[in-house]
Structure 1
Amino acid sequence: MLDAGHGQETAGKRTPDGKMKEFDFNQAVVHFLKKELEQFGVVVLLSNCGTSDLPLRERTSLANKFKVHAFISIHANAFGSTWNEVSGIETFMYTKPSEQSKLLANAIQNSICALLKRKDRGVKQADFAVVRDTKMPAVLVECGFMTNKEEALLLQSEQYRLLCAKAIAVAILCWRNK
């Protein structure tokens, strides 16, 4: 199951200049990623594909109800609400992750950093609902900082969004085939 982060009107989830909403990035990457995975016969479900912000409990309930093999939540990061120099890629898993969540998170982090040549901020643990309340391996991927001018431009480009999707797809396929 792929999760497109936040809803279109989620407050504060945009670049400091307002040119990009995080939802736009998340949604584009999810759709590219879905197409990439389906080429390899992977059945992909979407948790948050509309314009409204589906509550986190509903997202995790859907994943658990359909007993999906993995839950991947796509995001663009931010540090504060003004432009700054913080940059890079990070992937989150729950504070008490399963072994499969660790493997998936590391595969995604390594694949994205290798393909996109961005700063590797590492795999981290957090008590985010989408990684805590799911019963399958689950990760939340932060594909760059909206508050960094260089990364904000990348996050707005279709090429970068496609590369994020390709990198995540490679990681999922490698993880799935182990």
Structure 2
Amino acid sequence: MLILLDPGHGPFTAGKRSPDGRLREYHVNAAIAKFVKEALCGVADCQLTTTGEKDVPLWERSQLANHLKADLFVSIHANAYGSNWNAVSGIETYVAPRASKQSHIVAKAVQAQLVKSTGRLDRGVKTGNFHVLTRTKMPAILVEVGFMTNRVECDLLLSEEYQRKCAMAIVAAICATL
């Protein structure tokens, strides 16, 4: 089984950071993806869509997933609401509008595990017309592990302990559904 992990965005993508600049979204996403990959070693073959040396366009990410014939595509993100600090918070997981049954099963499991493991607000499983969800040919989800525009969640996202909690929740859900 091949799972393609996508640390969403890239290290140089403009605007993908906390209001104070302490958090760059890619670095959080990449850390969580690395922990997921390590934890799934021996259970599944895991690859990353990017090494972090450059920003990889969305079309390249979906094309890679399709070329490799991945069994599951998991895009990991930190959310934002506007560009200033605010009270919006929580975890949400997305599937494509016409997602497969397996995408929904994995998304619901990941959402539930993340909320249980982190204690953050459950914003639910939602549909999104995101390129990496609509252009991949396998079950695919996009998970938002917290808001970098919320001071509390920004601090959590910066902590290795929280990053590991998110990773282990994703791993537990994947193992339970696949």
Given the two structures, how large is their TM-score scaled by the length of structure 1? Answer: 0.97
Q: Distance in 1 between matches of 2:26 and 2:170?
A: 18
Q: Distance in 2 between matches of 1:20 and 1:121?
A: 22
Structure 1 outlier segments of 4+, above 6 Å: none
1:26 and 2:26 aligned: no
Unaligned runs of 5+ in 1: none
Q: Distance in 1 between matches of 2:91 and 2:50?
A: 22
2:100 is aligned, of 85, 93, 98, to 98
1:15 is aligned, of 8, 15, 18, to 18
Q: Distance in 2 between matches of 1:49 and 1:149?
A: 28
Provide the aligned C-alpha RMSD in A: 0.7
Q: Once the 2 structures are TM-superposed, how far is the Cα of residue 51 of structure 1 from its aligned partner?
A: 2.7
Aligned length: 175
1:149 is aligned, of 143, 151, 154, to 151
Q: CA deviation digits over 1:131-166, x for unaligned, max 9?
A: 000000000000000000000000000000001000
| Residue 130 of structure 1: aligned partner | 132
Q: Once the 2 structures are TM-superposed, how far is the Cα of residue 98 of structure 1 from its aligned partner?
A: 0.7
Quick check: 46-55 or 131-140, which moved more? 46-55
Amino acid in the other structure paired with 1:137: P
Q: Once the 2 structures are TM-superposed, how far is the Cα of residue 9 of structure 1 from its aligned partner?
A: 1.1
**Structure 1 counterpart SS, 2:78:** strand
Q: Distance in 1 between matches of 2:98 and 2:43?
A: 31
Unaligned runs of 5+ in 2: none
| Residue 5 of structure 1: aligned partner | 8
Q: Distance in 2 between matches of 1:82 and 1:94?
A: 28
Q: Distance in 2 between matches of 1:37 and 1:49?
A: 18
| Residue 163 of structure 2: aligned partner | 161
Quick check: 40-49 or 109-118, which moved more? 40-49
**Structure 2 counterpart SS, 1:90:** strand
Bigger strand fraction: 2
